[in-house]
Amino acid sequence: MQTRFHIATCTIVAAMCCLLVISSRFLQAAEPDVDRTKVAALIKQLDADKRSKRQAAETALLKLGPAVLPVLPPAEVVRSVSTRAALQRIRLKLERDKALASIKPTRVSIEGEHSLKETLEQLQQQTGNSIDSSGLAATVLAGQTSIEATTFWRTLDQLAESQGFQVGAATDKASLRLTPNESDQRPPVAYSGPFRIQLTQARFRPVFGNNQIQLLSFRLQLLGEPRLRPLFLSYSPADFSAKLGNKELAVRSRDARLELPLGEGGSGARLKVDFNAKAMSTARECQLQGRCQILLAAGSERLVFTELANASGVARRRGGVTAILQEIRSTKQSIHVRIAISYDRAGPAFESHRTWIFHNRAYMECGESRVDYTDFRNPLQAGKSVVVEYEFPSSKVDLSACRFVYEAPTLLINVPVEFRFDRASINAP
């Protein structure tokens, strides 16, 4: 009896020591504003004898917010069942909170007067949104600015109006492009969360073979903050309404449902919607309002694989996504890494014609350098799972000194975008 008690006691002590070692190892990556000692104590308390103490520790860790995520050890390496289950719940909740927070509009606070160049630099630093200002003259970039604290898009449009430039679609997958404004008129803009909607055109068009009506045709450009990763935009003309004076117009193609793939960064999308209007109308102003839906890949997390020589079969999980490193094989020319990615929830985003998942970032970290893959192939895609094989140059990768990193969004979320233009000029540029 004493022997069994001694063995059980030793087992518990060993498990607690293991937990403390794991906690200490992961606390090295703590955020600066996280109290490491406090977090270590709370992780230990997750395996307390009393349920009330375990619940108190879990609540306290949740209150620390997403900043504590880098500190938490992966649940799969923790022996204690209660601690493992609690860590899974905590990580899932905090990763979702982090993902939801990432789709809110970023705010800007820049005090005093600065040159436009300095203001744009601060704007990028504060929001994480990349801006390409190479199209502006040096005299424009040297111009003095003073702005009020507001959101990213409102700040940028405030600067555009005072400094005489316009905001355009991205030149690449990571930035917006600023160019000189060649017109005295500025197309109207509206804002919805982290999105900017610009009415680029509103004009009458004739209907061939029908002298009784004409079309009032609208064209809009939608841009998201470049830091975001929008995947698809969907809308129906039935979700739009327009008025000439007090008269509401009938929308064309009411039952249609359109879906547009969106590029990463600020490349955005162009929408069009037409309404029937009375022929020969002389109206010069109209109203337009509408809504659409954007599927966003939010909450990108790093899934890191170390000790690559023996990493085959190792799994990493964050939020609702799991990555399994299936195989690593080497040749004289290249190193091949095969990884299986699976999401808990399926849906339209995983249909075979949608390729966003192949653009998740994957790379090797070798010391201070990063090595990107040179090629990839997709041997399997089924529902909410996909297998991707990446190829890296063997001359740059030493498996004993590198780790493989896969970045994946933990949350795919539909974000509603609603907007309204009360006084839009017809024949707007």
The pLDDT tens digits for 137-160 are: 999 999 999 888 799 999 999 999
Clarify whether residues 360 and 421 are in a common domain. no
Judge whether 228 lies within some domain. yes
Query: 280 and 254: one domain?
Result: yes
Residues 172 and 227 in one domain: no
Report if residue 185 sits inside a domain: no
* Residue range of the domain that includes 217: 190-294+416-425
289 and 421 in a single domain? The answer is yes
Structure tokens, 249: 């117009």
User: Do 313 and 241 share a structural domain?
Assistant: no
Residues 29 and 82 in one domain: yes
Residue 84 confidence (pLDDT): 87
| pLDDT tens-place string over residues 82-109 | 888 898 889 888 888 888 888 899 999 9
User: What is the predicted pLDDT for the residue at 148?
Assistant: 82
User: Tokens in use for 107?
Assistant: 């705010």
Where does a domain end: 117, 147, 180?
180
d(CA 243, CA 287): 5
Average pLDDT, the chain: 84
118/169 same-domain check: yes
Per DSSP bridges, beta strands 130-132 and 175-180 are parallel
> Does 326 map to a domain?
yes
Q: Picking from 65-74, 170-179, 303-312, 318-327, which range would have the lowest pLDDT averaged per residue?
A: 170-179
Query: CB-based contacts of 405: which residues, under 8 Å, 6+ apart?
Result: 302, 303, 304, 305, 361, 362, 363, 364, 365
- Record the pTM: 0.77
Q: Decide if 404 is inside a domain.
A: yes
**Which of 428, 429, 427 has its CA nearest to residue 214?**
427
Both tokens of residue 148?
A: 């009020």
The more confident residue out of 4 and 420 is 420
- Let me know whether 267 and 343 are in one domain: no
CA separation for the pair 173, 211 (Å, rounded): 45
Q: Are 303 and 365 within one domain?
A: yes
Domain at 391, CATH number: 2.60.40
> Is residue 197 over pLDDT 50?
yes
Structure tokens at 302: 């790093």
DSSP for 87-142? HHHHHHHHHHHHHHHHTSPPEE---S-EEHHHHHHHHHHHH--EEE-TTS-HHHHT
Length of the chain: 429
Q: Which of 126, 153, 180 is the last residue of a domain?
A: 180
Q: Are residues 383 and 315 in the same domain?
A: yes
Give how many domains the chain has, as a whole number. Answer: 4
Buried b (16+ CB within 10 A) or exposed e, 12-31: eeebeeebeebbeebbeebe
Residue 406 lies in a domain: yes
Instruction: Give domain status of residue 316, yes or no.
Output: yes
Is a pLDDT exceeding 60 seen at residue 16?
Answer: no
**281, 334: one domain:** no
Percentage of the chain surpassing pLDDT 70?
Answer: 86
Tell the burial category of 121 from Cβ atoms under 10 Å away from its Cβ (0-12, 13-18, 19+). Answer: middle
> Mean per-residue pLDDT for 397-421?
91
Percent of the chain whose pLDDT exceeds 90: 45
Whether residue 199 sits in one domain with residue 169: no
Given 180, 211, 238, the domain boundary residue is 180
Torsion of CA 135, 140, 144, 150, to 10 degrees: -40
